[in-house]
Structure 1
């Protein structure tokens, strides 16, 4: 290997890395450029380098490429995938993905059951543990999508696993997978929520600014048989949140009618609302006369938790609350009495 060859390789590599942050990520491009440059080296040096690469392959190492905060190229919505919302953005994931991502506290998590095809995670209380390395061994990994405040960028790990973060509309989506096509499809579906999300939930709501005093004004609960769907919208009550929507979901058909019937059957309550909760949910009941009525669901106050349709306040019951606070709407904070109703 000559000095001029080394200088040329170093110059090309340095120039490429200087400009990598100004271009969208392309799988494998940095490695390809370096490989092409180094083909000029003699065989004995190539063999030595290959030995080092093989020795290092068993160690999980993240290779980072910086990218600008940018809107990903939009893709056609996948008709069979479901939508997930958080703050001001929504994104599609495969329908068989579950919920709950241990993230960088994976080594302290409880034992999981059968491997899942993937999972969606949202910020919330986590165990204060830093596991090494950042992700589980290859045979314990699953596809993940996490909402949160991560910086935009691409991190490459061992065995072809990649973590990529895109930022949009004040939020971020991080996907961790070894399937490049799946990663592109998910990140390509990210879009800002304009008005209401795919499940019919507003990105903001009046109850957030007046959690104790807010009451719906649209006439109370409709008859269960008239309800075509129920949008379940979960909000943070933390002040200063530009986009307080934490998650959403939708019940349709018989499931929607059953939950409305369960709310109507709940005992009436005259307990004063405390107004000190961390989260709250709003149900938007869509009826066959093209009207939308609301029910406020308080579950994280110190007192006064229950359903409020603007006409009647009712107690929370297991039959009524369990179909609502599940899946994407699993609460991160709630009172002990409500936890018992949920089976906690």
Structure 2
């Protein structure tokens, strides 16, 4: 109905508002939210038992049953229909890296050339590989992000191509488009959803129909990694730091970055944001280790396959510490106020999934190899 003295513009505005009110009553209506750059809400690490890994200690393959580091939980609770920036926490403006916000209830993962989002409640575990029949490890009870893509050695064993469905759980991984198939066929009732290619890689979700919507949302979130990933790690790094920076003992936000040393400069393969007491624990572990370097293995010369970068944030600036653990020589903690020796504690708190230990030599490997069993359902990284 036209109001007295109402102009054409007035009528158009009123019709627009009435249309919004009408659609707001519909069950699937959501207001438009423009994507913005914001600092994401951190998630604390929670560790739950799962799968088996193969770790090379001084060139010998030793199977180790390790734990799944998980956010636990169900599918539906972490799948909001719309994307919006997470809320800031007190102190974010002065204690964290600049990041691109993930949708609420989700987090960023990165691998080499791309980044993508997964529900916060998805944990980490090892996905079945071509040697799946060697351990016949049961899958975790919840969906997960696959660890150590391309980095974990595969045993030369002829496993059947028909993987039983009981050995499978919904998971996401990053695969090179030039890699051979995964080494097993999808069981009946399972399918894969893959993203568009980004510089030779795709994100792939292996899932049942129950997770089809989540799989579509994951692959839709894929983006080129850029120079800095959404968690604050450089996509490429020379891993060169000066031993002059203070130890930043008061840092309450840390980014953990893991790099493939077989590429030059080293290429990012995993990243994780850590905050609060857990960040302070990481800082203490790398800044209180004994002065020096090592331990090294004089019987070989390999520089190792991976290394980690610990970024300690103050505002938008970071001081970096390099942790080397996989080589025969050159191991230790470098940066901060002094070079330091590698310790079991430093390995434990730095190599939190998705960072993963895969190869090593001598004493350094013994310090950093994951334990055969993870005590309790939710152990803390502090000692």
Q: What TM-score range do you get, normalising by the shorter chain? A: 0.5 to 0.7
Quick check: 2:130–2:154 contact (8 Å CA) kept in 1? no
Higher relative contact order (CA 8 A, sep 6+): 2
| Corresponding position of 2:329 | 303
For residues 194 and 158 of structure 2, the distance between their equivalents in structure 1, rounded to whole angstroms, comes to: 20
Aligned counterpart in structure 2 of residue 253 of structure 1, from 264, 267, 276: 276
Alignment of 1:1-344 (within 5 A): 76=83, 77-94=102-119, 95-112=121-138, 115-121=141-147, 122-124=149-151, 125-134=153-162, 136-150=163-177, 157-166=186-195, 167-178=197-208, 179-207=211-239, 214-216=240-242, 219-222=245-248, 224-225=249-250, 227-240=251-264, 244-269=267-292, 276-287=303-314, 290-309=316-335, 311-342=337-368, 343-344=370-371
Alpha-carbon distance, 1:151 to partner: 5.9
| Cα distance change on mapping 1:132 and 1:230 into 2, 3 Å | same
Q: 1:329 to 1:309 in 2, by over 3 A?
A: same
Greater radius of gyration (CA): 1
CA distance in 1, matches of 2:351, 2:116: 20
Tell me the CA shift for residue 293 of structure 1: 0.3
Output the CA distance in 1 between the equivalents of 2:110 and 2:342: 25
Q: CA RMSD in A?
A: 2.9
How many Å separate the matches in 2 of 1:191 and 1:298? 29
Change in 2 beyond 3 A, CA 1:336/1:93: farther
* Alpha-carbon separation, structure 1, partners of 2:361 and 2:320: 23
- Equivalent residues of 2:138, 2:167 under 8 A apart: no
> Where does structure 1 lack aligned partners over 5 or more consecutive residues?
1-74, 208-213
Contact persistence 2:252–2:280 (CA under 8 A)? yes
Provide the C-alpha distance between the structure 2 equivalents of 1:246 and 1:116, rounded to a whole number of angstroms: 23
User: Does structure 2 conserve the Cα–Cα contact (< 8 Å) formed by 1:150 and 1:174?
Assistant: no
Contact 2:123 2:143 in 1 (8 A): yes
- Report if aligned partners of 2:294, 2:332 keep a CA contact under 8 Å in 1: no
Counterpart residue number, 1:45: none
* Structure holding more helix per residue: 1
Q: CA deviation at 1:164?
A: 3.0
